Structure 1
């Protein structure tokens, strides 16, 4: 690519050209500097204490947390980027679309989960509900948007103490869903005949805006600056090539290592998974002839849930779904996962560890080899995508995880407790912030976050008031309503930056259940 294009991609948030490293940066490459800044961030270190799906106690050598997940995504993303650059068939297309640097995708992959709150995806849902309904934030909460907010705004480890001052290319590569929940860009991608993945409204909450989005209204300018070098190359709702590499790597890592984890802790049972896949394989034709209502009524019986998945894929992803490829994917997962990995219960032995490692390495290599470039993708996919065979395999692997892990009552029991804990914590902090007699004794970080958000919302009310309107179109009026928005955003920023154990310890203290005055779980 030409130097001036590279320079545009290396522009930092501060306006610095990015090609001259700050004296304290160790690397010469601006994108390598970004990778180092993310890796040195306390928000990154914190991910070691954030659940992926299950608590890591008593499960052999390793169960993934958000930190190990992010490192694996970075490894896979870099491998994909290097393969694309080496393939002469893809070079021209990659350049035309805005470039694909291994250092950029690695930095973005390390940063992609910085905004993940305590307790995994459940924490994300609970915080979003509380942010919208209790704290009155039209934007609510979204883990991807929170990650973008951290690197641009709330992390103070960058040279200017406002975000990490990352380059344009890395920030653009973090934008899996390059739109806000409701207002930007206009027309909003959720109104498209076939909205991009994540842009549609949740079926159970019409009128609330996109289900997934990567930017809060407070960071619109950051998004616009990050997307500038890609203008005219890709539509404004589409991921950059580097973002789609990171997104694909996330899918690959997640599909494989969650299955490893549940095998390790004995949750994924050979018999139940085998029955589901076997019955579907044997009774494909009969199941295909059943009504949707009958399938739903019989979901506890083997084969029914897998047939529902096949139909759902036809509905949502008819650009790629193919019944032969689906059947082949079921057969491969049956052979490799059921007859392979799950055939020997995990007992922590060298042999058991090697089986897990072998499964992981072979599947990662297979899926990475299946990554390809599309010159003209549909709105439901990106320029970088999995080939149809591997795409179907990922759907089946994810199905096994959803059906036999996430649907378990024992997991639900824990998650209901975690949801109540987060709810109580948000309410307690909101009350503390509302108590004018206690204002001088607030946690310093919470105070700083309120001041930051107050400045942001005041500026938005002056320059872009329309983006502060909720789904109803009502605008906040007066300083009190802006202060209320700022308080809400500060509580969300604060809670989202805790580890699982910090959230537990803080609620213990706030509810008077601990006699320990000085705790190492958090600093106030």
Structure 2
């Protein structure tokens, strides 16, 4: 979609549409891509865990920076393919537009808010934010990314966010709702909620499991979504957000498998047994009751059968048993009998095998993307073809079953959870120590001031936004100040790399004699 000075998609948070003297590009969307790539929050992603820390493992594995680059690569390729198809031009325009620069910028920015230690850190900070600090919307990596580009990054022209265009901000809203209140009616109450909108089964009453904005950024959400009114539903992603989301799935499905093949964690025998047993005994496994399947979960084939049943339960609009079986067979042939059949030994042949696997699968999935004008609530407007959708589900299953559920990884992550919890508690004590307020790290001090302004304004204009799932309303300036300090501590902690979090806790615990550390960067 061509943008000009009258294009509402190109307007910025500040109200302008152009560029500044510091910008290197003339296209406003390309400027956004450059602003994200130049942000220190983007640079820090090189020190943030994707699944396991490269520092701890001593191995070359993906981090959040390399993951973001590969998501952007796949997303731009998808956007360019869709834009090159004349038969899709009318549909893309009707749905609000599709620009490769917008997609690339949003993809580079989509993980800016990931805290130290990957998804484990996200879970820890959410628990602390809700239960210790009483923050109604807790912590969520996607919402934190949106907060960074609109509020806490100070490298933009006005020192408040990056002043990105409407289109890029909207494309970052993978889950375009808040945890509890926006939009009204909330998508978690739909008969078939969008992906991420439902409440976690283990935490009823807490609001959506995934969301892309906090209540403090609601003005930015409204501004970003305004040009798409009447084009997509309030709970739907824009086309560009849908492309970014699809590319994220593709990168996750392929590149994490590469890492754990290299590390030696992904073993041929165990994966072959799981997939092969299901292919041979599919009818027999399908006849098992839920209780029988659960009792036999450690036996080969049972976990894959459980996946098939979950897909029927959640995504009946897409799942097909014959296509699922074909996907299992495809993954067994390409991954198990192909890549995993020969252990990785660092040789040229092994590196070429990894590169070939990644390139074939990325091309296969990127080429299989299409557009639906009226998708199901469980899908975006941009979707994978049926065969490839099933293949992604199987690839992600292999990663989860044979990597994420490993006890040794759980042991490592429990230690990281304790570290992050102790760090937040230590920072909270520092922030609330009136004798030390003048010696806070300047970045933390600034975040406290910012959050106090935000929460004081909310308390006046929209006090209901501060009410959590428990229904308790903060009362009085002390309560509001307490919320603000909690948000500031969470913002500060989430802006650290893995190593900075560890070094900062060492310093705060008195366990290091080193006076100057890298703990206060950002």
CA distance in 2, matches of 1:210, 1:7: 33
In the alignment, is the contact (CA less than 8 A) between 2:441 and 2:520 conserved in 1?
no
Matched-pair contact (CA < 8 Å) for 1:425–1:503: yes
Contact 2:112 2:144 in 1 (8 A): yes
CA-CA distance at 1:58 after TM superposition: 8.6
Which residue pairs with 1:13 in the alignment? 13
Deviation at 1:464, TM superposition (A): 1.3
Equivalent residues of 2:242, 2:382 under 8 A apart: yes
Distance 1:190 1:451 in 2: 33
Alpha-carbon distance in structure 2 between the residues aligned to 1:16 and 1:332: 50
Residue aligning to 1:34: 32
- Alignment partners' CA distance in 1, 2:2 and 2:397: 44
- Alpha-carbon separation, structure 1, partners of 2:20 and 2:407: 52
- 2-side partners of 1:285 and 1:194: how far apart? 29
SS in 1 for 2:350: helix
Q: Secondary structure at the match of 1:283?
A: helix
Note if contact 1:60-1:264 (Cα within 8 Å) is conserved in structure 2.
Answer: no
Q: What is the distance in 1 between the residues matched to 2:470 and 2:520?
A: 38
Q: For the residues of structure 2 that align with 1:248 and 1:2, how far apart are their CA atoms?
A: 23
Q: 1:220 & 1:478 partners in 2: Cα distance?
A: 23
Task: Give the superposition deviation at 1:461.
Answer: 1.1
> Residue 373 of structure 1 contacts residue 385 of structure 1 at CA under 8 Å; is this kept in 2?
yes
Matches within 5 A, 1:48-59: 48-57=46-55
Residue 5 of structure 1 and its aligned partner are, at CA, apart by: 9.3
2:84 alignment partner in structure 1: 86
Residue 385 of structure 1 aligns to a residue in which SS?
strand
The whole-number CA distance in structure 2 between the counterparts of 1:314 and 1:171 is 33
Is the 8 Å Cα contact of residues 196 and 209 (structure 2) preserved in structure 1?
yes
The whole-number CA distance in structure 2 between the counterparts of 1:146 and 1:500 is 17
Q: Please name the residue that 2:388 is paired with.
A: 390
Give the aligned CA root-mean-square deviation in angstroms. Answer: 1.3
Cα deviation per residue 1:273-328 (whole Å; 9 max; x = unaligned)? 00000000000010000011111111110000000000000000000000001000
Pairwise CA distance, 1:21: 1.3
**CA distance in 1 between partners of 2:56 and 2:504 (Å):** 25
User: Which residue is 1:349 aligned to?
Assistant: 347
CA distance in 2, matches of 1:16, 1:174: 20
Q: Cα distance 1:60–1:137, how it changes in 2: closer, same or farther (>3 A)? A: closer
1:214-293 alignment runs, 5 A limit: 214-293=212-291
1:6 CA displacement: 6.3
Tell me the equivalent position of 2:168: 170
Deviation at 1:135, TM superposition (A): 1.2
> Who is 1:414 aligned against?
412
Correspondence 1:350-389 to 2 at 5 A: 350-389=348-387
Picking from 125, 133, 136, the partner of 1:135 is 133
Q: Distance in 1 between matches of 2:508 and 2:148?
A: 26
Check the 8 A contact 2:236/2:380 in 1, yes or no.
yes
Counterpart CA distance in 2 for 1:452 and 1:346 is 50
For 1:418 and 1:151, the matched residues in 2 are separated by 27
1:494-505 paired onto structure 2 within 5 Å: 494-505=492-503
State the distance in 2 between where 1:88 and 1:73 align. 25
Measure the CA separation in 1 of the matches of 2:167 and 2:62: 28
State TM-score, norm by structure 2.
0.98
1:480-514 Cα shifts (integer Å, max 9, x gaps): 00000000000000000000000000001111110
- Match of residue 202 from structure 2: 204
Partner of 1:442: 440
Q: What whole-Å deviation, never above 9, does each CA across 1:377-429 have from its counterpart, x for those lacking one?
A: 01000100111100000000000000000111110110000000000001110
In structure 2, C-alpha distance between the alignment counterparts of 1:283 and 1:296, rounded to whole Å: 16
CA shift, 1:60, in A, is: 8.6
Structure 1 length-normalised TM: 0.98
Quick check: 2:4–2:10 contact (8 Å CA) kept in 1? no
Contact 2:3 2:10 in 1 (8 A): no
Distance in 1, Cα, partners of 2:58 & 2:351: 9
Q: What SS does structure 2 have at the residue aligned with 1:9?
A: helix
SS at match of 2:370: strand
Stretches of structure 1 lacking an aligned partner (at least 5 in a row): none
3-state SS of 2:383 partner: strand
Is 1:186–2:184 an aligned residue pair? Answer: yes
SS at match of 2:54: coil
Alpha-carbon distance in structure 2 between the residues aligned to 1:87 and 1:185: 33
Instruction: Tell me the distance in 2 between the aligned counterparts of 1:5 and 1:522.
Output: 41
Counterpart position of 1:116: 114
1:452 to 450, 453, 463: 450
Q: How far is 1:477 from its partner?
A: 0.6
Q: Distance in 1 between matches of 2:6 and 2:347?
A: 50
Query: C-alpha distance in 1, partners of 2:282/2:411?
Result: 34
CA distance in 1, matches of 2:56, 2:153: 33
Whole-Å separation in 2 of the counterparts to 1:65 and 1:131: 25
Gaps of 5+ in 2: none
Q: Which stretch has the larger CA shift, 109-118 or 456-465?
A: 456-465
How many residue pairs get matched? 522
Output the CA distance in 2 between the equivalents of 1:507 and 1:297.
Answer: 42
Query: Structure 1 residue aligned with 2:398, among 383, 400, 406?
Result: 400
**CA displacement at 1:479 relative to structure 2:** 0.3
